[in-house]
Structure 1
Amino acid sequence: MKRATQRPEGFVKPAHWSNEPLPQPQEVQVDEELSPTRYGDWVLKGIAVDF
């Protein structure tokens, strides 16, 4: 399948489109460590167990 790399002939850009680049995503801040109760797993003698 060939990917379209150009707009088709006769295409008119809508007035609300801008030429500005996309904003950069914000960095995700992790305030807490992974919680075993969140995922339902606990570690018992080095082995993950479910309860």
Structure 2
Amino acid sequence: MTERATQRPKDFVKPAHWTSDPAPRPAEPKLEPDPRGLSPTRYGDWEQNGIAVDF
């Protein structure tokens, strides 16, 4: 079995575009009113001809 590397080689040079900054937070979702009632993406069901269909 090959040993797993836990450190970079001593001659490793970090590329200029790498950063130690944390990833940005995702944008808040836009809440748009659903003209037909409950949002299928929120509740997990689509309504077709009066029948709820899971997707």
TM-score (norm 2): 0.43
